[in-house]
Amino acid sequence: MIDLNNTETAFKIKSNRELKNAGFLFSMIKHPFIVRTLGLMSSLALKIKFPVAWIVKPTLYRHFVGGETIDECFPSMRKMAAENVKSVLDFSVEAAVNEKDIEKTFQELKHSVINSGKHDEIPFSVFKPTALTMHNILKKASESENSLTPEEQISYNNFVQRFDELCAEAVKAGKPIMIDAEDYWFQPAIDRITENMMLKYNKHSAAVYTTLQMYRHDRLDYLQYLIKFAKENSIILGIKYVRGAYMEKERLRAAEGNYPSPVYSTKAETDRAYNKALEISVENHDIIHVFCGTHNEESIVELMQYMKNKGLENNCPTIHISQLYGMSDNLSFNTAKAGYNVAKYLPYGKIKNVLPYLVRRAEENSAIAGQTARELIMLKQELKRRKTVKK
């Protein structure tokens, strides 16, 4: 059995100084009050355009982000690739503001997709749909495309065209592209477009991956629909599985809108749904290519067992495991050492653009039971181990 908590393997590429800095950072973000304050200050700083780089860059940014540009990410990419951990470059711009910013983001995303085809260290490209259109357009299109005004329809058509162009560029690059999942009320339009892209590009391989947030209680049914859809249309499904990133927001919005919450009421239900989706996917590995995005050790162990039961090799080319850069290195590097396909999500972008992402990472580490404590324990264990070895 693989030891997923081997700290020597987990932190092999990190210096003592980097381990100590990481320890300090996690010791801060384990306090919910500090994280809440950080979130409020960040929102205010963005609104009034107050400079925050001096405090963010040497702390959260350095730990969770690869750099401002693709070129700045290469040192981290190459260090990880030397240990068989590849990178998914994620241009972390989230909310579109105007058409000028949308076009600028689109050009950078296209550059990122094209770049993926030039480097073995990059097995996938990815983009976030809300970076390519206005929220109100995506929300209305999800409710009913017929509700769009003529002007909104033009904007929506432009969004679909950009979506398609990124998928086409991914096919040219020879690397699959993943479509990130979004808030519940944006997702119907994204699902619809992604299905069309899979029909267009997934005839021979999984060129386009959809993302299923398994904290949603309708996603197992949607998975079964996708399997039927794939069989009827003779396509290969690409599916990235995540637990979900907007739980509290989804519950609050459902309460305010007086409709049932779209997410499970307990983490245990989400975990069961996530693991069941992995089991179904491995059972259907001839038509489903899997990207397992998780920081949950149990889910990785379950996936390994499903693969073993099905007679699949560790390095089965249709199955990838992933964690975020700066988190759960024990899972990433130990699974990679055992021969599994592993890729870290490596965000990049200017501080003002990635600040919402950084706040979410801090909130996630603060909210997930035991996540920060586990990170701290392993960091301390590795520093202690290194001192013992020196003696």
Q: CATH number, domain at 174?
A: 3.20.20.220
Per-residue burial over 201-222, b if 16 or more Cβ lie within 10 Å, else e, is bbeeebbbbbbbbbbbbebbeb
Q: Is residue 388 part of a domain?
A: no
Q: Is residue 227 part of a domain?
A: yes
- Residue 222 amino acid letter: Y
Q: Is residue 124 part of a domain?
A: yes
- pLDDT at 391 (0 to 100): 60
Per-residue burial over 153-175, b if 16 or more Cβ lie within 10 Å, else e, is bebbebbbebbeebbbbbbebeb
Q: Is residue 219 part of a domain?
A: yes
Q: Is residue 371 part of a domain?
A: no
How many Å separate Cα 252 from the centre of its chain? 23
Q: Each residue's pLDDT tens digit in the chain (391 positions)?
A: 799 999 999 999 999 999 998 888 887 766 665 556 555 555 555 554 655 554 667 777 888 899 999 999 999 999 999 999 999 999 987 666 788 999 999 999 999 999 999 999 999 999 999 999 999 999 999 998 888 999 999 999 999 999 999 999 999 999 999 999 999 999 999 999 999 999 999 999 999 999 999 999 999 999 999 999 999 999 999 999 999 988 888 999 999 999 999 999 999 999 999 999 999 999 999 999 999 999 999 999 999 999 999 999 999 999 999 999 999 999 999 999 999 999 999 999 988 777 777 766 666 655 554 577 888 899 999 999 999 987 6
- pLDDT at 31 (0 to 100): 60
Q: Which residues contact 127 (CB under 8 A, 6 or more apart)?
A: 91, 109, 112, 113, 166, 177, 178, 179, 180
Q: In which residue are the tokens 């392993």 written? A: 378
Are β-strands 208-213 and 125-127 bridged in parallel, bridged antiparallel, or unpaired?
unpaired
Q: Is residue 332 part of a domain?
A: yes
Domain that holds residue 195: 66-353
Query: Are the C-beta atoms of 48 and 54 separated by less than 8 Å?
Result: no
Nearest to 159 by CA among 125, 136, 175: 136
- pLDDT at 48 (0 to 100): 44
Number of domains in the chain: 1
- pLDDT at 41 (0 to 100): 54
Q: Is residue 271 part of a domain?
A: yes
Q: What's the pTM?
A: 0.93
Q: Is residue 361 part of a domain?
A: no
